[in-house]
Amino acid sequence: MVNFLQDKEYDIIVVGAGPAGLTSALYAGRSGRSCIVLEKFSVGGQLTLIDVIENYPGFKRISGPELANRLEEQVREYNVPIRIEEVTKILDKGERKIVKTVEGEYVGKAVIIATGTKPKQLNVPGEKEFYGRGVSYCALCDGYFFKNKVVAVVGGGDSAVKEAVYLSNLAKKVYIIHRRNSFRAEKEIQKKAFATKNIEILWSTVVTSVNGSNFVESLSLKDLENNREYTLPVDGLFIYVGFSPSTEIFEGVKNEEGFIVVDGNMMTSIPGIFAAGDCMVQFKDRAWGQISVCVGDGAKAAISADEYVSKMFSE
């Protein structure tokens, strides 16, 4: 017997409660559509892991958790329920879509996938073994545990450099380890890192292993320019080497890299199933990894889903 969690069907089901998903829900609610948001972990997605945001329009400076809270409040004003439930599958039944979760099933006329991304791993010895014991992918979550200690941050993009600056206010010493000889991060973020006295940058360097007994004690490094290997004593390692899409459960709508492919209306190759945010790419474009872009994607997906429902189910 099918366990339907509601005795009604929804016009739009949003999978994911990051900035793209919440924006989709906001637009769906404002358009008068019945909508529900299903989120695996916590409302806000990657936003909740960001200490400071300085490039989101309308806010000179705002924390990720605060922005997530504001988005959630806006969505709830339109009586859109947000539930913490893991989605396991989406089935296309023609005019109706079945969204399966660990607790049952939901029925919708349209679905917007906005599941975002997850941190990539270095895949070096010791990384998995010391996860939670010195290895972290979130400075905002775990930085406090390294107060007055020595830590290393791996990466050269916005997240890596920004979080290194954040950690410099807590840790005694912060190393930024980057495989190239220049950063990809925004210039303003780079300036802050270069001006911070307790940040040291190790250019053209990679981590080859994470070492320790019960907790991280050191990193094995390789200088790519001089082909020199050495050991760096540290108490913690924060990894920011990019993100991969959280799209494992979705079939038939992804490219080789796992990103969901959409057209100009944010719709996948399956009519009635849309995607928005970091988990998707439009045509052959790249994923931008910017909150403002995700918000725009979410708005477009909701508008397109609203138009789709009107066209398919008009009396």
Span 129-156, pLDDT tens digits: 999 999 999 998 899 999 999 999 999 9
Q: Bridge partners of 154?
A: 177, 239
Distance, in Å, from the CA atom of 92 to the CA atom of 272, rounded to the nearest integer, reads 9
Buried b (16+ CB within 10 A) or exposed e, 162-176: bbbbbbbebbebbbb
For 99-117, what is the mean pLDDT? 96
Name the catalytic one among 7, 35, 92, 142: 142
pLDDT of the residue at 2: 43
Q: Is residue 3's pLDDT more than 60?
A: no
Name the catalytic one among 7, 51, 92, 141: 141
Spatial contact of 278 and 117, defined as CB atoms under 8 Å apart: yes
For domain 121-239, say whether CATH 3.90.850.10 is its number. no
Q: What is the pLDDT of residues 259-284, one digit of tens each?
A: 999 999 999 999 999 999 999 998 76
What SS3 class is residue 118? strand
Q: What is the pLDDT of residues 6-65, one digit of tens each?
A: 557 999 999 999 999 999 999 999 999 999 999 999 999 989 888 889 899 999 999 999
Distance, in Å, from the CA atom of 193 to the CA atom of 190, rounded to the nearest integer, reads 5
Same topology between domain 10-118+243-313 and domain 121-239: yes
Question: What is the homologous superfamily of the domain 10-118+243-313 according to CATH?
Answer: FAD/NAD(P)-binding domain (3.50.50.60)
Name the catalytic one among 138, 279, 294, 297: 138
| Torsion angle (degrees, nearest 10) of CA 215, 217, 223, 224 | -10
**With pLDDT > 90 as the criterion, what percentage of the chain qualifies?**
88
Residue 138 bears catalytic tag: yes
Residue 142 bears catalytic tag: yes
Domain ranges of the chain: 10-118+243-313, 121-239
